[in-house]
Amino acid sequence: MIPNIPSLRHTDSGNFFLLAGPCVVEGETMTRKIAERVVGICDRLRIPLIFKASYRKANRTRVDSFTGIGDEAALEILARIRSEFSVPVVTDIHESDEAALAAQYVDVLQIPAFLCRQTDLLVAAAKTGKVVNVKKGQFLAPESMKFAVDKIRAAENDNVMLTERGSMFGYQDLVIDYRGIPVMQQNKVPVILDITHSLQQPNQSSGVTGGRPELIGLVAKAGIAVGVDGLFVETHPDPANAKSDGANMLHLDRLEELLVRLLAIRAAIA
């Protein structure tokens, strides 16, 4: 399934769709640089793209972690990316009163995994009329995501997507149960595999989340092989110096090569 977003290009290609971009808006120059590369790659490969960047990071481990450049400044950058590159945009929201604000600038509102059971947040997002992407909580069974979908549909919004991002495996690791993808697809919504956050190593003693980016290709290939509808990937030209989640990001220079390989798998199983 492909999300119902009028500005989404290449929806007739038969390819999976992609949510890709930096973790957070670090500034206009960096965001534009990443958007230009990602949009160009996806246009060449005819992959439907939703550009991703959080306008604010509210769920950081340490109090001194970077959270953003300011809400309106970051949202205005996303709006310019959306307009100038003619590409739909997704960003996270964390509280109910953020939904209406963010909806003025983007096409998809994303609910972080830790907040996927927050009824007021889900309903507020739904009432904007935007597509709502709900990340499955690391603590939830795939079957339980039915209730998140039900809450959004009860608010008269059928434009829902679900994202798998791994389940807690002990205190400092995540594991992906690929059986959950077809389970969540039973809700008749697009299902996405987050191939970067699934490789996080949370709760490190340093307060900075670790990651296993060398496994991104492995995770992505397995997701395509089991029939996921879309992929989510955070990418950056300098992950080591990214202001958020650099430990599990895909280097921007490796994105096109990975996507070419994934398209070959998609064609083989079609």
Question: What pLDDT is attached to residue 27?
Answer: 94
How high is the pLDDT of residue 76? 97
CA separation for the pair 135, 161 (Å, rounded): 9
Q: Establish how many alpha carbons lie within 13 A of residue 265's alpha carbon, considering only the half-sphere containing its beta carbon.
A: 18
β-bridge pairing 167-168 and 174-175: antiparallel
Whose CA is closest to 105, among 31, 155, 191?
31
The reported pTM is 0.93
Phi, psi (rounded to 5 degrees) for 118: -75, 100
pLDDT of 63 reads 66
Question: Which portions of the chain are predicted below pLDDT 70?
Answer: 60-67, 200-211, 245-247
Segments forming the whole domain that contains residue 107: 17-269
Task: State the burial class of residue 232 (Cβ atoms within 10 Å of its Cβ: 0-12, 13-18, 19+).
Answer: buried
pLDDT at position 134 is 98
- Look at residue 172 in the predicted model and tell me its pLDDT: 78
**1 lies in some domain:** no
Domain presence at residue 126? yes
Predicted local confidence at residue 238, as pLDDT: 87
Q: What is the CATH number of the domain that holds 96?
A: 3.20.20.70
Spell out the residues 6+ positions from residue 144 whose beta carbon is closer than 8 angstroms to its own: none
User: 82 in a domain, yes or no?
Assistant: yes
Please indicate, yes or no, if residue 9 is contained in any of the structural domains. Answer: no
Count of structural domains, the chain: 1
pLDDT of amino acid 128: 98
Quote the pLDDT of residue 208.
56
Q: Could you report the per-residue pLDDT of 216-263, keeping only the tens digit for each?
A: 899 999 999 999 999 999 999 988 887 776 667 899 999 999 999 999
Query: Do the domain assignments include residue 33?
Result: yes
Whether 249 is in a domain gets the answer yes
Contact status, residue 220 vs residue 257, Cβ threshold 8 Å? no
**Residue 182, in any domain of the structure:** yes
Tokens standing for residue 217 = 């290709």
In-domain check, residue 6:
no
